[in-house]
Amino acid sequence: MNNSILEVSHLTGGYQANKPVLHDVSLHVNSNEIVGLIGLNGAGKSTTIKHILGLLDPMNGEIKVGGTTFADNKDGYRKQFSYIPETPLLYDELTLWEHLQLTALAYELGEEWEERAEVLLQEFRMTNMKKWFPGHFSKGMRQKVMIMCAFLVKPSLYIVDEPFVGLDPIGIQSFLDMMLEMKDKGAGVLMSTHILSTAERYCDRFIILHDGQIVMAGTMTELRNQIGNSAATLDDIYIEATRSGK
């Protein structure tokens, strides 16, 4: 586990001391790996992600990105990953291009970011919308802006929360292709999603979260072995896991 980029160990956390949302969660993401974080609404996926982002402090346990904790080195910690939220969060008063500019500014990217931004705009078919204000775009278009900003950074870790909802099929394909490309170049991805069939095809490993606890984890083969059904889909496994986890 020396090449793990994200390392969450024994994390207990949430908003209220007497009512933690997460109980003793341990997971890791290696480089060259896409890990699917699967769970029902309210299972604790978003809380896990908030802890990783450093928006919440752990009540117990530790989170390391690239070997450092948030407390050790705040900026250094956060510059190693980019985050795509579940609902696109954009500034009403900035154009699409200015969002990319702001990302470059926040992550202190080198001069060559503009070139990369042009390539991304082309890939997501938004070159002619550069000067538009994305605050009023459709959900899918806004999601594309978030995705482009995340890929512009080229971090070693991507934290992605439900990226597919609202995206058009070509957008989904572009996103998945780029994710695979970044993975091949050494990045790690933690992706939370409900679209299990897509997750099954693209993720290398899965973590199934239920009521704030990890009930199952492993590759497809490992999961299938755990429930003793070698032909099971991720949907089958998921339903089985949350039922027995009850």
Partner 1 sequence: MMQLQTLWKERAGAFWNIAMRYFRLIGNSSFLFTLVLSLIFGAYYYSEILKVLPESFPGVAVITIVAAIVLVRTPLRFFLSEADLVFMLPAENRLQGYFRQSLIYSFALQVFTTVVVMTILAPLYQHEMAAGTGYYVFVICVLIVLKGANVLMKWMELHLPAHHSTIVYILVRLAVTIIFTYLLLIQAQWFYVALSAVLFVVTFFLMFLPLQRKYAIKWEKLLAMDEKQSMKFYRTANLFTDVPKLKQSVKQRRLLSSLGEKLLPSDSVYATLYQKAFIRSNEYFGIYFRLWLLGLAVVAFVPGLIGKVIGTALIIYLTATQLRTLYPHYQAHVMVKLYPVSDYEQGKAFRLMLLRLLGAQAVTFAALSFLLSFDVIVFLSVFLAGSVAVAVATSRAEVVRRSVS
CB burial string 66-102: b at 16+ within 10 A, e below: beeebeeeeeebbbbbbbbbbebebeeebbbbbbbbe
State yes or no: residue 107 binds partner 1 (CB under 8 A): yes
**Options 13, 36, 39, 171; binder of partner 1; rule CB under 8 A:** 13
Greatest alpha-carbon pair distance for the chain in Å reads: 54
The answer to the question of residue 17 lying near partner 1 (CB under 8 A) is yes
Q: How far is the CB of 195 from partner 1 (least distance, A)?
A: 22
Strand pairing class (60-65; 4-13): antiparallel
Binding mask 135-174 for partner 1 (x = CB under 8 A): -----------x--x-------------------------
Q: Residue 210 in 3-state DSSP?
A: strand
Q: Which stretch binds partner 1 (CB under 8 A): 26-34, 72-80, 182-190, 226-234?
A: 72-80
Q: Examine residue 65 and tell whether it contacts partner 1 (CB under 8 A).
A: no
106 binds partner 1 (CB under 8 A): yes
Nearer Cβ to partner 1 (12/32):
12
The residue within the footprint of partner 1, chosen from 11, 35, 38, 83 (CB under 8 A), is 83
Residue 115 CA, distance from chain mean position: 25
CA distance 211 to 43: 5
Query: How does DSSP assign 191-224, residue by residue?
Result: EE-S-HHHHHHH-SEEEEEETTEEEEEE-HHHHH
Return the residue of 4, 46, 48, 103 that touches partner 1, per CB under 8 A. 103
Q: What CA–CA distance (Å, rounded) separates 69 from 66? A: 8
Minimum Å gap between C-beta 246 and partner 1 is 26
Q: Does 20 bind partner 1 (CB under 8 A)?
A: yes
| Binding span for partner 1 by CB under 8 A among 35-43, 84-92, 172-180, 205-213 | 84-92
Residue listed under structure tokens 């170049």 = 185
What is the distance between the alpha carbons of residues 175 and 148, in angstroms, rounded to a whole number? 9
User: Do the Cβ atoms of 230 and 224 come closer than 8 Å?
Assistant: yes
Enumerate binding residues for partner 1 (CB under 8 A).
Answer: 13-17, 20, 50, 53-57, 59, 70-71, 74-75, 78-79, 83, 85, 89-91, 93-94, 98-99, 101-103, 105-107, 146, 149
